[in-house]
Amino acid sequence: GQDRDAAIGDIPTSIHAGMPCSGGQLYLECGHPCGRTCADLRLDGAGSCPDLDGLCVPGCNCPAGLVLAEGGQCVPP
């Protein structure tokens, strides 16, 4: 109902529901808050975004086993 939709920080849930993802990414209701990029791998996980103990957020993420390259495509690490 309306109450549930209003609780998501002023962003209508319908915007999220059909969000297109590019580069082979998939829309996940519960994905890693930072995504996984080639830069993250080079930094050996010491990048600017720590893994917050299982915190997850809705959004586009590469499928398991792939990372996001600078060009916006999901590639093997």
Report the C-alpha gap between 71 and 47 in whole angstroms: 19
Q: How far apart are CA 73 and CA 25, in angstroms?
A: 8
Domain boundaries, the chain: 21-75
Length of the chain: 77
Confidence of residue 25 (pLDDT cuts 50, 70, 90): very high
Lowest mean pLDDT among 6-20, 24-38, 45-59: 6-20
pLDDT value for 12: 46
- Average pLDDT of every residue of the chain: 73
Report the top-level CATH class of 21-75. Answer: mainly beta
